[in-house]
Amino acid sequence: MSVLVILIPPRVRLGAHAVDGAEASASSLGEGYHYVLSADGLQVSNHGLAQLSLLPRADIVVAVIADSDLSWQRLTLPKAPAGKLRAALGGLLEDHLLEDDEALHLALAPGAQAGEPVWVAAMHKAWLRGELEKLEKGGLSIERVLPLSWPGDTPQGHFFESTGTATGDARIMLCHADEGGLSLLRLDGSLARTLLSRMSEQPTLWTAEPAVAAPAERWLGSSVKVQTEAERALQAVRSLWNLRQFDLAARHRGTRALRNSVRQFLSPAWRPVRIGLATLLLAQVLGLNAWAWHQRQALVERRLAQEEMLRATFPNVRAVLDAPLQMRRETEVLRAAAGRAGDSDLEALLGAAASAWPDGQGPVQALRFEPGRLTLSTPGWSEQQLKQFRDRLRPGGWAVESAEGRVSLIRAPAAGARS
């Protein structure tokens, strides 16, 4: 999946570039955004500077905050409900922050557990919210906000050229991070030289931007690994950090999760899975079609067998339209010609009624016969007697209807019978 990394310019902290009394960034002054585009999230495909409307599009969009816009605090994470955790953090950090708690946005390190030490990143909330709103109004959905550097167990130092001042003067800066925190130092100051000996006590990964690699090696007294700003930003993408927490957390998480799942499914790594599912679906469709064809053939063969039986049994039938129905009619004609009673004749209906007649009831007072239906007058029958009459006839395939002192006896239609 392609990744677009947008580097949010550092805030300008002097009044010369203030916007309505607030701190501004280079993007608010119309200078655009530095960006890094990667086709796979591992290698830099393209990078440059562009206005918001001209930024390239990608599957995933993240924003990176400069080291100078973050401060880091170490504390023991309090055991508080999710809805009150932000307020609890503000109370614990109140004496360690230079700005009011309401003006700051806080974010916890990945994998933070209650009751354990954790790093907390603090940044200017109004400025960050404004930058995110500007990007999202430009049609970009920012999934994560990342720091360029963060405290960690492996000591790292990076030299870069900074121009994030009101005067625009460039100077070489050192960002050093280890398990004790993160320091941002000017090389032309005495503090960096004082702390160098402490930094050198542990094996440290030293990197530098190409433009400052030579002076950084002279100052450090050893070689450094060249790392461009684009490579450093892309390296941050591979971390688990996400500064979009609490009230700045990304919205529509369900939609975002679904979109991420779709992107992952369409990625090259999932190509074998897609091929397997397509093959399985094709096999299912072919199997269903083969089974349906087999069932159709069996139905045709059964219909032909019925027609052959009808012609063999009743040679006088010339046109076969409905073999089961025509065979039943021809059988009824033969039965009537032989003088034998059928299920719908009066004799069969009377015999069935007599076999189920309720105990204690006298002879029937009146009856009415229609082909296939016998109606008997049953005044004074109780509900128990009607139930007894119905229950005795049901096993023989008879149905009983009762209404207004009469019961009607008919042959219950067989399941699946055709009329």
101: tokens are 């708690």
Count of other CB atoms within 10 angstroms of residue 272: 9
- Smallest CA-to-CA distance from 123 within 93, 163, 78 is with 93
Residue 240 CB partners (closer than 8 Å, separation 6+)? 110, 111
Among 165, 190, 161, smallest CA distance to 174 is for 161
In the chain, the N- to C-terminal Cα span, in Å, equals 64
**Which pLDDT tens digits describe the chain residue by residue (419 residues)?**
789 999 999 887 654 444 443 455 555 555 789 999 999 888 999 999 999 989 999 989 999 999 999 999 999 999 988 889 999 998 888 877 777 888 899 999 999 999 999 999 999 999 999 999 999 898 888 999 999 999 988 899 999 988 655 445 568 999 999 998 999 998 887 888 888 888 878 889 999 999 999 999 999 999 999 999 999 999 999 999 999 999 898 775 566 667 667 767 777 778 888 899 999 999 999 999 999 999 999 999 998 888 888 888 888 887 888 888 888 778 777 776 776 666 677 777 888 888 888 877 778 878 888 877 888 888 878 888 888 888 888 888 888 888 888 888 887 765 444 44
Residue type, 275: I
φ/ψ of residue 29, rounded to 5 = -95, 10
Q: Which residue has the tokens 């994030």?
A: 164
The pLDDT value recorded for residue 63 is 96
How far apart CA 393 and CA 232 sit, in angstroms, is 90
pTM, full prediction: 0.59
- CB distance 5 to 36 below 8 Å: yes
Cα(92)–Cα(100) distance, integer angstroms:
13
Evaluate whether 118 touches 255 at the Cβ level (below 8 Å). Answer: no
DSSP 3-state of 310: helix
Q: Which of 162, 165, 166, 170 is nearest to 16 (CA)?
A: 166
Check residue 35 and give its pLDDT: 95
Tell me the DSSP string of 223-268.
Answer: --EE--HHHHHHHHHTS------GGGSPS-HHHHHHHHHHHHHTSG
Q: What CA–CA distances, in Å, run from 309 to 303, 315, 325? A: 10, 10, 13
Helix (H) or strand (E) holding 197: helix 190-199
